[in-house]
Structure 1
């Protein structure tokens, strides 16, 4: 089986595809069945996000930090929620070093979205941008080459859909591996909040230990796909690197006395891998592709047998 993400030019005249070879796993079969069911819904549509970062571009960490501070000003002026002064980012310190501020901003987004829902009002839409900025800033300086894509087949999402139980099983979680760094098709987190693996990735010991009840492990699957491209094809995860990252994660949990049974499958670090890119691209080519074709218009599964 293959999956194609269809990209389209700004004015709709041209299309390109990102092609993925899918693994033979039960979770892949289940996600494709749900994708097919979702596409039959007359109200279904494509939602997507493409985050692109380039070395030596105008999109510097400082500019994004200043944007964050401007959004905080705007959110506070709307009087629906108050973001404290302590959350303003220091422009003299690299944003990814301001972990407490970024975590607090993410929590504000999470709590407001859980209370009112996505797209509720202008405040929630601004907090969506806060959430994106947090993810852009928290893991590393922005001055790096990266393209991160999320493609979602939107549909009404109860936990059970006409006989399909979309709850993730332990077997599904066993397909979870450290975050892909080049061309792996992953099941997107698609959950408001932060899981234990994300705490490890950002060294958020407070949330993982003192506020563990606020963690949000992924519980369900949906036709939502993510793919990450960082630095270049040479950066693609190897089996040895994945094993080392997994051991590092468990050591982090042990050393910080995480009060959870983190050896359970649902706590495994990373995302559920569904397949990998079948085409060859350089970092520059991926950046150019998403610049020239910035819209995602379809997600197509193909049985090539």
Structure 2
């Protein structure tokens, strides 16, 4: 490994993931919350998928999009956490170059997919509140399928250039990545060649795609708030706004850590490296863990169905 740190590596077949630089002695302890969050994410999101599949009354656009969100969270967390835990527990730091590119692609693809699903959910809330009598007509199953397909295709297309741009680089200063997974900036920084295209593309996708999605969500909620404030009573306004509570909480848990992590990676040069890596992991671990909890607590239909299942098992 020392040779890799001092000489250029041409067409590396493997990369070495260091984990969390500076906190190697604490890897085993750090693995405990990481593993706990991952288990909660798996159980919570599979529970959401199971409940929606089993309950015919939940076969509506809102819950179809929720199932997309649960599936995305499962893939996103699973693309990162198992390898991270293998580093912490077994010191298994090697990752094949092709596997590294695949991991990099999955991370970017499903992050874009998640933000697209939030836009679709905002559309559903807009139609449900502003055009309640036409909700089933506007968001019929074929329309929901087309919206879901558009979200998936957009994420697949926007994510494709990332591994290809990284693959263009043949010479690396080292094959040692100071990270727990193949994060794009962490890999690109090691390349000897000019990486401006890769860096600028990553920055453009992050801000333009997220900026457009946040703009569309803001427009939707502006119309939603106008419709809510036009209601005659305070109770009606609170009850209607309450239907958006889970969606708003899920978006905050996704966008705030994401924005903080991206800005820190790009501009936080004075921040210690292990804090960069920890924040990057929090961004990919916390939303998949919290989303099913948020929807389970805030959505009455899911909460009631879950209580029914627990009661049946208890008897």
Higher helix content, 1 or 2: 2
What TM bracket, shorter-length normalisation?
A: under 0.3
Structure possessing the higher radius of gyration over alpha carbons = 2
More strand by share: 1
TM-score (norm 2): 0.26
Q: Tell me the TM-score normalised to structure 1 length.
A: 0.27
